[in-house]
Amino acid sequence: MSLTQTEEELMQYLWKLEKAFMKDLLELYPEPKPAPTTVATLLKRMTEKGFIGYKQMGRSRQYYPLVKKSEYFSKHVNGLIKKFFNNSSSQFASFFTSETDLTAEELEELKAIVEKEIERKNQ
């Protein structure tokens, strides 16, 4: 199951704060801010989907993520690779490095990251 674009935006705020009441989340939105009822609906849906949990504190709820940002992102990247690149990481890497405006320095950083990961996996 995945998040809609508006749910994902709210999830980004919750990942940033780690724990938050609805009023804390509303404060992070730029103007014009969404209606509190809209955010309440999003929080309810995200709870039902299993992305967030909450702790009841009096009449308020303190929300927290149940899914780590890295796990969510990893699942999406893997889905992209499967859907658009025939499940080939090398096709994805080729596209990513040739179709984005990476500098030579950024490519060298990527190369170092890949080499470090190869070394780690060979141990």
Q: Stretch 66-93: mean pLDDT, rounded?
A: 89
- Sorted by where each begins, the domain ranges of the chain are 5-65, 69-122
pLDDT digit string (tens) for 26-57? 999 999 999 999 999 999 999 999 999 999 99
Among 30, 32, 38, which residue's Cα sits nearest to residue 13? Answer: 30
pLDDT digit string (tens) for 81-115? 898 899 888 888 888 888 888 898 998 998 899 89
Q: What CATH topology corresponds to 5-65? A: Arc Repressor Mutant, subunit A (1.10.10)
Number of neighbours of residue 11 by Cβ within 10 angstroms: 19
pTM for the structure as a whole: 0.75
